Amino acid sequence: MTKWLEQDELAAWMSLAGLMFKLPGVLDYQLQRDSGLTHFEYLVLAGLSESPGRSRRMSDLAGFANGSLSRLSHVVKRLEQRGFVERSPAPEDGRITVATITDAGYEILVAAAPGHVATVREYVIDTLTPEQLAQLKAIADQILGKVDPGKPC
């Protein structure tokens, strides 16, 4: 038997669903307009730039960017073609592929970051009080823990 949503539950769900559909488009639009990167490409480059040696195993990078290994492979291939990323076998195990951000990739990321952060601040951070921001993190962590139990929050 289906336990239907109560009015307040439905209202909360519809707000969250609207946010999940609209916010990615806002972030993608700004990044593509200002730097020619998608939000996923930006996350990939950011994940590489924050890693030791600016390199990461592809499987680890997929987890960081919240994407499948297949999607990541396609995106890294495009970034490779643009000269932003290089792939190579891992020195300790040639069966593992490692992605490394190039100097050109790091430069595009550094150039894209201020606009991206300003957009995140405008549409998310600055619309909330410090208390709401703490609540948002707690709520998002709780939901992420259910959706992706293996991923630390």
Q: What's the pLDDT tens digit per position in 7-43?
A: 999 999 999 999 999 999 999 999 999 999 999 999 9
> Of 147 and 86, which is predicted with more confidence?
86
Nearest alpha-carbon partner for 63 in 85, 42, 36, 44: 44
According to CATH, the topology of domain 23-114 is: Arc Repressor Mutant, subunit A (1.10.10)
**pLDDT over threshold 90, residue 66:** no
Q: Is 126 exposed, middle or buried (0-12, 13-18, 19+ CB in 10 A)?
A: exposed
Q: Which helix (H) or strand (E) covers residue 43, if one does?
A: helix 39-49
Instruction: Please tell me the distance from the alpha carbon of residue 115 to that of residue 117, in angstroms, as a whole number.
Output: 6
DSSP result, 66-78: T--HHHHHHHHHH
